[in-house]
Amino acid sequence: MEKKFTEELIERFLKYVSFDTQSSEESEGKCPSTEKQFRLAEYLCNELKALGLEDVEIDGHAYVYATLPANTAKEIPTIGFIAHMDTSPDCSGEGIRPRIIRHYDGGDIVLNPEEGIVTRVSLFPELKDHVGEDLIVTDGTTLLGADDKAGIAEIVTAMTLLQAHPEVKHGRIRIAFNPDEEIGMGAHLFDVEKFGCQWAYTMDGSEVGELEYENFNAAAAKIQVKGRNVHPGYAKGKMVNANLVAHEMIEALKDERPETTEGYEGFFHLTGMNGSVEEASLSYIIRDHDRKKFEERKQKMQQIAERLNQSYGNECVTVCIRDQYYNMLEQLSNKPHVTGIARKAIEEACGFCTVVPIRGGTDGAQLSFKGLPCPNIFAGGLNFHGRNEFVPIQSMEKATMTIFHICRLTAEQSSL
């Protein structure tokens, strides 16, 4: 990529991360969940207008939409690129102080010598894959925000790159930036009809070269346990300790946890617990790539509850399970051109393409089930949601070029 555009890419990213856009799970249905996300949305609108994009708008929920018009009269599918503006609630995104480590030497990175905060290669061995590259890191007190402001910077820079190369023909390109992805709400109010694309790509993946079009099927479970509190001196045969019943549920699910699974293996993840002798509650998320196994996992949780009720009373344990999203492969398996173009573009930009399953969810999964096929492409950041997050500049360059090549290849394949 030309040096001018690399410099613009870095400058954009550093500007975007200066905005605190942390979303909140305590918003009680409000979108965006935090008003501060509007500030970045408004900045992006002004920037896109200044760059000459068309149909630039921000709606009442901080969704930003814009268009790069086609530069050819040929009939080419309208495609889109999407990234989210919010950062994770798991770590502060206020007052981010990034710095660039040029020609990384492969050693531990001291982020904050005063507080003794270090990114150690022994804990983050992925650093070894980026020796010699230029890494953007934090000062160790916040996350970085590469998830997903790297994606935003890459999309905007790719649009300017296409504008600078009119000899590269492309169709109408739509871009969108949304709030609240980190709390699972990014796609809920996304206007697929207004976006008007035949397919799209989220730029929200991690390691360079990765393409993702399979994700977990996902559900959230809330387990309520009602105990029977009796004076402990006279409790024999009478007391039912809700904490201990809840512990039995945990024990029954302990063999398949996030920390013991990988690849296509699903899990039960205990995310919260509260309790007393009288009552207790457990919060779980249920994940599996295979839809049949996903349904079996939900049944297993209900069966454990039934068994506990037989032991302690029919109303002791109740389980409420709510599906969250499904595996986008169901919607993409019959659209090989969507993933095929992405694979070829990644290979051109990176020299290889690695197809991996997402051990999580993505806005693209929900959008795919809303009628917008939407695989996920790497944005280059690593160690998301924490103070050890970093992004290699070279990975961001390759992501930008991937977008550029997708636009070109879509036009070329449509004219065959």
* Cβ-based neighbours of 20, under 8 Å, separated by 6 or more: 36, 87, 93, 94, 95, 96
Place of tokens 């630039």: 56
The one-character DSSP state at 285 is E
Number of residues that make up the chain: 416
Can you tell me the distance from the alpha carbon of 199 to that of 148, in angstroms, rounded to the nearest whole number? 20
**Which of 208, 211, 165, 213 has its CA nearest to residue 399?**
208
Residue 196 has phi, psi (to 5 degrees) of 65, 35
Contact 280, 273 (CB under 8 A): yes
Buried b (16+ CB within 10 A) or exposed e, 159-180: bbbbeeeeebbbbbbbbbbbbb
The kind and range of the H/E element at 118 are strand 117-119
- Active site residues per annotation: 86, 181
What angle, 0 to 180 degrees and rounded to 10, lies between the N-to-C axes of helices 3-16 and 393-414?
110
Which tokens belong to 375?
């695989």
List of residues 6+ apart from 311 with CB closer than 8 A: none
The verdict on whether omega for the bond into residue 204 sits within 30 degrees of 0, i.e. cis, is: no
Place of tokens 């986008």: 328
Beta strands in 194-278 (DSSP E): 199-205, 210-212, 217-226, 267-275
